[in-house]
Amino acid sequence: MGQLVHFYAGDPQTIGRAFDSHDFETLDNRSKIPLFSDFSLHLSPIDYELLSEAIQSTVGRGPSSLTDSLGTLVGGDNNENAANVVAPDWVAMVANVRDDQLDTVLQEWVQATAEEHSEPITEPTDDVRMAFRELIALCREAQKRGLPVVHTWSL
């Protein structure tokens, strides 16, 4: 079973409180939490690590692990769910993926996940492409506005 995974940019305490209380009205309110990206592709945690490695390989710098880039816990119990502030260097790495590098990152990621799970290599789906584009856009805009990014997951 995969996880629900979201990225938000805004005040980490506001995001954490809303996440803890299941306050979807606040989580969906772009005046309170300016940026949102849904990355709920029902993937395993290792798949997100492989994505970080593919981004780092293509961009040429940055951390190779999302997990290691998760900082202060602002919500959740870190057992069945969590909301963590993402390290600025991971956000910068994602923001630095150029549009002409999108296919390269996704191909490398799809190949790595297929190998990890002993599955045949397939083409990235439209949902994967859209989620990755939205994540890149969120990271770019968060950097531009100086907003912290918070990663949330829940089972």
* pLDDT tens-digit series, residues 90-139: 999 999 999 999 999 999 999 999 999 999 999 999 999 999 999 999 99
Q: Would the pLDDT of 145 be above 90?
A: yes
Full-model pTM: 0.95
Here the CATH number for the domain that contains residue 18 is 3.40.1760
pLDDT of residue 90: 98
* pLDDT tens-digit series, residues 21-70: 999 999 999 999 999 999 999 888 899 999 999 999 999 999 999 999 99
pLDDT of residue 43: 87
Q: Among 97, 84, 100, which residue's Cα sits nearest to residue 132?
A: 97
Total domains, the chain: 1
C-alpha span between 54 and 72 (Å, rounded): 25
pLDDT of residue 23: 98
C-alpha span between 151 and 74 (Å, rounded): 10
Q: Which domain holds residue 39?
A: 4-154
pLDDT averaged over every residue in the chain? 96
